Amino acid sequence: MKFRKTILKNGLRLVMAPMKDTNTVTVIVTAGVGSKYETKATNGISHFLEHMFFKGTKKRPKTKDISSALDAVGGEYNAFTGKEQTAYFAKVDAKHFDLALDVVSDIYLNSKLDPKEIEKERGVIIQEINMYEDTPIVQIGDIFEDLLYGDQPAGWETIGTKENIAKIKRKDFLKHLREHYTAPNTVVSVAGNIDEKKAISKIGKIFSKMPKKKNGRKTKVFEKQNQPQIRIKNKKTDQCHLVLGARAYDMFHPDRFPLSVLVNILGGSMSSRLFLSVRERLGLAYYISASYESYTDSGYLAVKTGVDTDREKIEKAVKTILGEVRKIREKRVSERELKKAKDNLRGKMALSLESSDEVAGFLAGQELMKRKIETPEQILARVDKVSADDIIRVAKDIFRDDKLNLAMIGPVGDGKFLENILRL
């Protein structure tokens, strides 16, 4: 992967990745801010503001003026808010690069935050909250993070609460912008078929007036646990959705590479241990997977699945997952299985970085969060060095009773029937 990083005089970071074998180009502008940077009273403001950026600028006064400009050329565009970053992007035919840059930079720098639009958008976000409430397969992730981190920013939902959405005012948005939407806290990433020098010049002019100011700070994550924890949300559903996981490493920890391989072996594919045991052998679930989520100051491993609401089947699924966890903690993986996991990770990365939007997002995320970019080659070189001894060492560190957590949604009562088996 070829790329060039440029830092403007005001501190804004620009990452360019020419891709001459594609006909597209993607522009993504990211800010180092998300729900981890919020207070109890402002929880949800980062996501709310993301919505407001599409409600009109001085140049494009109405929502349809923004969407029509990119729709007219068949562009793909969107935005997202996470715990630690908020991003806005557009992917277009390479010949429409100027348009994509103009639209994305316009909403990022010049949004009006019209009070009337703010009032209307409250209702939209409340309906989005309701949608997640009706989607347990999505909501279970938020419940798991709440179980891990509790009443601190890391444990709050990114979308916020209905109470907060009803109270946030225009002055709150302006304060949030001043504190976090600054040049040193912004990364512009462009990937695709572009004239690199011209693109750098254009971006430099557009973003040159952004304030040179450090962004606001986030609250450091506090973690404390001494025994397994269970969190149940009782809800009438046809399926019980659960996440069984453990506290793990942040994105800078040297053992993130062995952990990534371990996660792949456990539940990273349709031939992984968990998929074969829980779905293929026992027929307990349609979906099951393992993942590793890492932030700048926290991280966790999570096994996610959906099973029948019958207590015996829930118990059997949990026991089976724990059984696979014990195996990988106590018995060395074979060289064949280790190689297969590494090859799987290599293949997934190759596939994920074929398009301009994936490359732009990869580079933006690396630069924004780590302030340096690890190339795919560098990452895979670290993965290749992972040994069977590393896997068992990390498994023993991660899979302990004082790091074990289980979150569930379904009509399952208080979950006490699981307390005796949630042990390693």
Helix, strand, coil tally for the chain in percent (to 5): 50, 20, 35
DSSP 6-29: EE-TTS-EEEEEE-TT-SEEEEEE
- Backbone phi, psi, residue 31, to 5°: -115, 140
**Catalytic one among 50, 84, 117, 145?**
50
How far apart are alpha carbons 266 and 37 in whole angstroms?
33
Residue 361 is classified by DSSP as H
- Do the Cβ atoms of 65 and 56 come closer than 8 Å? yes
- Do the Cβ atoms of 84 and 183 come closer than 8 Å? no
Question: Which residues are CB-contacts of 106 (< 8 A; sequence separation ≥ 6)?
Answer: 57, 59, 60, 66
- Do the Cβ atoms of 143 and 233 come closer than 8 Å? yes
- Do the Cβ atoms of 216 and 180 come closer than 8 Å? yes
How far apart are alpha carbons 360 and 28 in whole angstroms?
7
117 is annotated as an active-site residue: no
- Do the Cβ atoms of 52 and 4 come closer than 8 Å? no
Element (H, E) at 291: strand 285-294
How far apart are alpha carbons 381 and 21 in whole angstroms?
25
Burial of 238 (0-12, 13-18, 19+ CB in 10 A): exposed
Question: Which residues are CB-contacts of 198 (< 8 A; sequence separation ≥ 6)?
Answer: none
Of residues 342, 346, 253, 367, the one with CA closest to residue 301: 253
Q: Which residues are tagged catalytic?
A: 50
